[in-house]
Structure 1
Amino acid sequence: MKNYFLLLICLLMVPGLSLAQKTKAKNTTNIFDNSRPKNLSDEQLLELVQKQTFAYFWDFAHPVSGMARERSNKSFDYGDEVVTTGGTGFGLMGIIVAAERGWITRQQAAERTLKIVDFLWKADQFHGVYPHWLDGATGKVIRFSQKDDGGDLVETSFLFQGLICARQYFTQNNSTESQLRNKILWMWEGVEWNWHTQGGQNVLYWHWSPNQGWSMNHQIRGWNECLITYVLAASSPKFAIDSKVYHQGWTSSNFFRNDREFLSIKLPLGFDYGGPLFFSHYSFLGLNPKGLKDQYADYWQQNLNHTLINRAYCLQNPKKFKGYGPNSWGLTASDNHQGYGAHSPTEDLGVITPTAALSAFPYTPEYSMQALKHFYNDLGDKIWSKYGFVDAFNETENWYAKSHLAIDQGPIIVMIENYRTGLIWKLFMSSPDVQQGLKKLGFQSPELK
């Protein structure tokens, strides 16, 4: 690995080569390991962290399906067979980043993506909607909870956020990329978003099962990570929801409007103190918040202020946890020393989750870089691995996770790339269906044509 960085530094001095071409000069097989080169520039560090994190989706993908495994360990009774639909959507966006940056070839990226698409083509789905978990070998649903054994509309929206990006990216006229585009289109057209209004109500429901029906009865109301679900439901070419479902469903809850100040920072939407930081990540891997507005909020301001409140709380550190500070902040859902939790200022257990600060790079690049350097340079012996940073740590408890989760690893790759180049935002926002859906719901964006 050390020799590779010496080679890359030399290559960076060669005129006329793009970054991707320079990076491709290294053999693209077996390039992931857990060495930790020192004295990297900011750009080199970002590149390394993205690439190392991508190994989770490349090296550790399920061998049969190519899908992203739910997690890297077997705790909570998860086995090797469990793959995640939403996490795979994040991983698909990571594959595009990897191809653009030359860690893998475009052909490798297309072939892996087609492998995933072919698996999904045959896997269990319910009115076109995929379950939260699948068996990565058979494509059969794996029950997420006692009654959650059918379609999961939110996980499906995370998956299709990635699939739509793949369809926009793989545009070459060859057999692999043509198959990709066609099959993704057919799957996309087959998702019955309006089915999840439970007979025409003006709100979307999260779950439906052929065995349980609507018994989970979980309405999707904001503010949380599910904005992308309503955007895609409005964008569907064949099974779109009416705009009233958004305006009367998503925006109608006790936790949508806020407009109060926390730590002297105004929060337009959501729970007090903003909730876990993944609210500002999952929907915005593809959906570009820059200049994105509707009658309810400026979504760049929403996500920026949410992030600033989260960081300011960590700096204030009212519970006096060890390690919190300007270089170590970020509360979001992750593993912890007790199991798993949705960490936030109102649910603070002393757990810092690297994906929180790192996936905030578009919003707070200076603060995120401070955290990244601390995680890598100061804590790397404890939290750096062959798949990038471990899921979380708690210095008060002297606890450092051994695990990685797909839904935490994916946003690190994608949001750092959006900060660096805007690649995934450009792809997703270029989809004509997405453009139509956003206009239908009354959004404004510089990217709407």
Structure 2
Amino acid sequence: MIKYLTLVVLFTFLGCDSSGASPIVDPPITPPVTPPVTKLTDEELMDVVQKQTFAYFWNYAHVNSGMARERYFPNDPSFEANIVTTGGSGFGLMALVSGMSRGYITREQGTERLNKIAGFLATADRFHGAWSHWIDGNTGKVIPFGTFDNGGDLVETSFLVAGMITVREYLKNGTAAEKEVAQKYDILWKGVNWQWYTNNKNVLYWHWSPNYEWQKNFPIEGYNECLITYIMAASSTTHPINPIAYHEGWARSGAIVSAKTKYNIPLILKHNGAEEFGGPLFWSHYSYLGLDPNQLSDQYANYWDVNVNQTKIDYLYCVANPKKFKGYGNNYWGLTASYSRNDDGSIGYDAHMPSNDKGIISPTAAISSIVYTPTESKALMRNLYENFKKDTWGVAGFYDAHSQHYNWTAPRYLAIDQGPEVVMLENYRTGLLWQLFMDAPEVKQGLIALGFHSGKYGF
């Protein structure tokens, strides 16, 4: 990362008086008094981080569509400027609600932006109701995410739909303009044909392509970040799935349950490909931005315990620091998918987790976990802001990845990382997004159909 050094040179001017006496030296200029830096309170720190991160979805959104750009590089703003992201925009919808509620923007401004996004999504490419992972923000046409992946992406769509329901609940009793926007989102989410994506089997499939149909062949099985996909599919009032798809597909007929522990902490569920420590921390974020895990359980798990335990294991791993990476500890931790450092020092991308530790901390990992580990998450946030701000802080909050060990930063942003920070900070501070989403009657209906219970919400 290029660093700039400002060198201030002070010139001393010599002068003579009118009598021709020897030159005299002007008295040195007294340097300005710099008051001591006032340490932010926890509340002030959270607000600074939340508001600055919110800028990703407000100041740096795609101009034509209003959607969240997949990525934003402050030093190259035009890079992939037209690629907007479905899932990241779902997180962005919740972030906009948070920004409206806090007065970062007015309700009128927020409603106008939400209306623009709804209009764009209504005309964008859809595949049996589902949107693609990437969309061209100017044309609404699909941008292929990869081979066989040029059609519907059900997981990304479920993240988007969760945001839509949250917006609807926030606006539905507002002004005439707000009610109109709420109705638009209600129509949009009801157009998703979740049943189609079972391919007539007892499981949901991640992708369908108009060219390759089911060749991607990716059944959505737990445990990972995709719980919300089954909940949205069960909550649909137009194309719901049979609950058997959840139990046989997602829960693998009960094989999702794990008896393993790490640091004497139960994992509870079998994390796909990461059964010793658990997966990257975004697995405890994406599904739970609207879905409130407090006192939420089914026959397989208590989901508060699932998420708290995964986060604590990640934290304890970083504190133990078996690979001896510089800086790791109780105020510098958090492993999740983000930009990463390649062996040659260039910027790549990786799913960081204890079983794939590259010495890279992703600020979103700890910050978005604040609902589970508030003390530990605030410690990371304060450490970065007070001690590494020069390297880690930018126009839309903390950059995506940092390493003390390599003295390295990825000065870039990703929608799917910035969004959970805003949303989980809001949920920690007020519970707003959880309350809105869980108040939706369809969500309650879907959870009950799948066998969930919530002590907090009374079902």
2:54 alignment counterpart: 54
Give me the whole-angstrom Cα distance separating, in 2, the residues matched to 1:175 and 1:425: 25
Displacement after TM superposition at 1:257 (Å): 2.1
TM-fit CA distance, 1:171: 2.1
Q: 1:395 aligns with which of 376, 388, 404?
A: 404
CA contact (8 A) 1:152 1:206 kept: yes
Tell me which amino acid in the other structure corresponds to 2:399: V
- The corresponding residue for 1:127 is 128
Equivalent in the alignment of 2:393: 384
Q: How far apart, CA to CA, are the structure 2 residues paired with 1:82 and 1:388? A: 21
Determine the C-alpha separation between the residues in 2 that align with 1:401 and 1:253: 41
Q: Which residue of 2 aligns with 1:300?
A: 304
What is the CA deviation profile of residues 17-57 of structure 1, one whole-angstrom value per residue up to 9, with x for unaligned ones?
A: xxxxxxxxxxxxxxxxxxxx852111011011000000000
Alignment of 1:96-245 (within 5 A): 96-198=97-199, 200-245=200-245
- Preserved contact between residue 403 and residue 409 of structure 2 (Cα < 8 Å): yes
Match of 1:282 among 283, 286, 307: 286
1:315 and 2:301 correspond: no
| C-alpha distance in 2 between matches for 1:256 and 1:314 | 26
2:106 maps to a residue whose letter is T
Q: Does the 8 A contact of 1:435 with 1:448 survive in 2?
A: no
1:426 maps to which residue? 435
The C-alpha deviation readout for 1:243-269, integer Å capped at 9, x for no partner, is 100000001189822221112211101
Mapped to 1, the partners of 2:38 and 2:53 lie a distance apart of: 18
Q: C-alpha displacement at 1:398, in angstroms?
A: 1.7
Task: Please give the residue correspondences for 1:354-365 in structure 2 after superposition, counting only pairs within 5 Å.
Answer: 354-365=363-374
Instruction: Give the residue type in structure 2 aligned to 1:306.
Output: Q
CA contact (8 A) 1:223 1:255 kept: no
How far did 1:272 drift? 2.1
Q: Are 2:413 and 1:413 equivalent residues in the alignment?
A: no
For 1:334, the equivalent position in structure 2 comes to 338
Q: Secondary structure at the match of 2:84?
A: strand
After superposition, the Cα gap between the structure-2 partners of 1:403 and 1:384, relative to the gap in structure 1 and judged at 3 Å, is same
Give the whole-Å Cα distance in 2 for the aligned partners of 1:249 and 1:190: 23
Q: How big is the alpha-carbon RMSD for the aligned residues of Structure 1 and Structure 2?
A: 1.5
SS in 2 for 1:258: coil
Please tell me the residue identity of whatever aligns with 1:355: T
Q: CA deviation at 1:179?
A: 2.1
Residues 164, 186 of structure 2: 8 Å contact kept: no
Please name the residue that 2:251 is paired with.
251
**C-alpha contact (below 8 Å) 1:153/1:229 kept by paired residues:** yes
Q: How far, CA to CA, are the matches of 1:348 and 1:39 in structure 2?
A: 32
**What SS class does the counterpart of residue 135 from structure 2 fall into?**
strand
Question: How far apart, in 1, do the equivalents of 2:172 and 2:254 lie?
Answer: 43
Deviations 1:278-311 (A, max 9, x none): 0000000000000000000000001000000000
Deviation at 1:187, TM superposition (A): 1.3
SS of the aligned residue for 2:259 comes to: strand
* CA radius of gyration, larger in: 2
What is the 5 A alignment of 1:12-23? none
Inter-partner Cα distance in structure 2 for 1:221 and 1:210: 23
Map 1:85-96 onto structure 2 (within 5 A).
Answer: 85-96=86-97
Counterpart selection for 2:360 from 351, 367, 376: 351
Instruction: State the 1:172 CA deviation.
Output: 3.7
Shift of 1:394: 1.6
Instruction: State the alpha-carbon separation in 2 of the partners of residues 259 and 414 from structure 1.
Output: 31
Amino acid across the alignment from 1:307: T
SS in 1 for 2:68: coil
Q: Which runs of 5+ in 2 are unaligned?
A: 1-36, 343-347
Contact 2:247–2:253 under 8 Å retained in 1 = no
Q: In structure 1, what is the Cα distance between the partners aligned to 2:100 and 2:151?
A: 33
Shift of 1:448: 4.1
**C-alpha distance in 1 between matches for 2:401 and 2:458:** 37
Alpha-carbon distance between aligned partners in 2 of 1:319 and 1:38, rounded to the nearest angstrom: 36
Shift of 1:174: 3.4
Aligned mates of 2:339, 2:361 — CA distance in 1: 10
Find the counterpart in structure 1 of residue 457 from structure 2: 447
In structure 2, do the counterparts of structure 1 residues 245 and 176 end up closer, same or farther at CA, with 3 Å as the change threshold? Answer: same
For normalisation by structure 2, the TM-score amounts to: 0.87
CA distance in structure 2 between the aligned counterparts of 1:176 and 1:46, rounded to whole angstroms: 31
**Where in structure 1 are there 5+ consecutive unaligned residues?**
1-36
1:393 alignment partner, SS class: strand
Q: Which amino acid aligns with 2:85?
A: T
Q: Which residue of 2 aligns with 1:64?
A: 64
What secondary structure is seen at the aligned counterpart in 2 of 1:104?
A: coil
- Asked if structure 1 preserves the Cα contact closer than 8 Å seen for 2:254 and 2:300, the reply is no
Deviates more, 1:182-191 or 1:149-158: 182-191
Letter in structure 2 aligned against 1:63: V
The residue matched to 1:259 in structure 2 has which SS? coil
Q: Are residues 1:325 and 2:329 paired?
A: yes
2 CA distance for matches of 1:251 and 1:137? 39
Is the 8 Å Cα contact of residues 390 and 404 (structure 1) preserved in structure 2?
A: yes
Change (3 A) 1:254 1:332: farther
**Partners of 2:369 and 2:300 in 1: CA distance:** 22
Aligned equivalents of 2:447, 2:228: Cα separation in 1 = 10
**Structure number with higher helix proportion:** 1
Report the residue type matching 2:298 in the other structure. D
Contact 1:222-1:253 within 8 A present in 2 as well: no
Aligned residues: 411
| CA–CA separation in structure 2 for the residues paired with 1:111 and 1:44 | 29
Change (3 A) 1:162 1:213: same
CA distance in 1, matches of 2:174, 2:256: 45
- Residue 258 of structure 1 aligns to which amino acid in structure 2? S
CA contact (8 A) 1:114 1:180 kept: yes
